[in-house]
């Protein structure tokens, strides 16, 4: 198993069309949102699914890295 961590905004109101509208409205502000976040996010409309998601994965470690490494994981988004 890969040792990584991710945080995501999962958009699922129960209505596919509403989900896509919400996602599209956020995508229209993508540059501003990415800048405020401090790095590039993964924008996944998931057209074949009902829901959408915006996520950030950190490949340099995760839960099994040990608690002493966790503070570094939170700051790696600015790398």
Residue 61 near residue 73, CB atoms below 8 Å = yes
Distance of alpha carbon 76 from its chain centroid, rounded?
14
Alpha carbons 29 and 7: distance in angstroms, whole number? 19
pLDDT of residue 2: 62
Q: Give the DSSP H/E element, type plus range, for residue 73.
A: helix 70-75
What is the rounded distance in angstroms from the CA atom of residue 64 to the CA atom of residue 41?
Answer: 23
pLDDT by residue (tens digit) across 25-63? 999 999 999 999 998 999 999 999 999 999 998 766 555
Q: Is the pLDDT of residue 7 over 90?
A: no
Alpha-carbon torsion, ordered 62, 63, 64, 67, to 10 deg: 100
The 10s digit of each residue's pLDDT in 60-76 is 655 566 666 656 666 65
């Amino acid at each position: 198993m890969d040792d990584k961590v991710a945080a995501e905004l999962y958009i699922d109101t129960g209505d596919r069309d509403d989900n896509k509208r919400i996602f599209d409205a956020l995508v229209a502000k993508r540059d501003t949102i990415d800048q405020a976040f401090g790095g590039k996010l993964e924008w996944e409309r998931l057209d074949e699914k009902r829901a959408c998601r915006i996520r950030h994965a950190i490949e340099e470690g995760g839960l099994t890295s040990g608690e002493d490494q966790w503070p570094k994981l939170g700051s790696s988004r600015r790398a």
